[in-house]
Structure 1
């Protein structure tokens, strides 16, 4: 007998997977932040993070956060109301549809927005101010 994955099974699996991914990101994020011990190290790290490759990773980070949060809301509704278990398939489908719509909207925002325009100058200005504060 072979187990067939259904909509709810995929939602369960993806919720666990995105949760593990977010915990992994959180650990890496904490490690990176604790390694930034002076303004020069911070400026160097910010310059690396402002590259187009890391901008793409920012979008990819948004996807598991988006799905995990929307599916988490579905789980709260299922647990706290009677309607959730009766409309299980519709709710799972709604999670997928809303996630896809918001992911597409965010992709459009990411592609049309240049958040790191002149970032090197901004980072250099921040570094100079931080060094001046440390010297005081």
Structure 2
């Protein structure tokens, strides 16, 4: 027992087992928040690059043609697929966030809506990546 400032006895704190701390703990809603921010930043980066490479047409048509030619590399096909995945999640989760904010029952159903979003997202990924994959195979074979 240890003495407190008022003189009463308080049990001494016993060190418990050390828990591993992580930066993000919690429910899936927190992870959807993180993924929403990451996909938003990725989409912004794509749009920035797209505006810059399109602006090259006015500066130097040869430079524009050169940049467009680099976009035919296989790695760019994977980046395009990643962009589709990011835009799809960002859009679906954005609709969920709008419903949470403006629908009176939104906060109550936010977790169920997240699982619906993830289901639609996975189905959309499978469908869109199938189409993108077929085009990549046609382009590179």
TM-score, scaled relative to structure 1: 0.75
Q: Give distance in 1, aligned partners of 2:88 and 2:76.
A: 18
Q: Give distance in 2, aligned partners of 1:17 and 1:55.
A: 20
Alignment coverage as a number of residue pairs: 118
After superposing on structure 2, the runs of 4+ consecutive aligned residues of structure 1 that deviate more than 3 Å are: 114-117
Say what the alpha-carbon RMSD is for the aligned residues.
2.4
Q: Residue 51 of structure 2 aligns with which residue?
A: 30
Could you tell me which runs of 5 or more consecutive residues in structure 2 were left unpaired when the two chains were aligned: 1-18
The question of whether the paired residues in 2 share the 8 Å contact of 1:7 and 1:93 is answered with no
Q: Residue 120 of structure 1 aligns with which residue?
A: none
Could you tell me which runs of 5 or more consecutive residues in structure 1 were left unpaired when the two chains were aligned: 118-136
Shift of residue 115, structure 1, vs aligned partner? 9.2
TM-score, scaled relative to structure 2: 0.72
* Bigger proportion of residues as helix: 1
- Greater relative contact order (Cα < 8 A, sep 6+): 1
Structure 1 or 2, whichever has the larger Rg, is 2
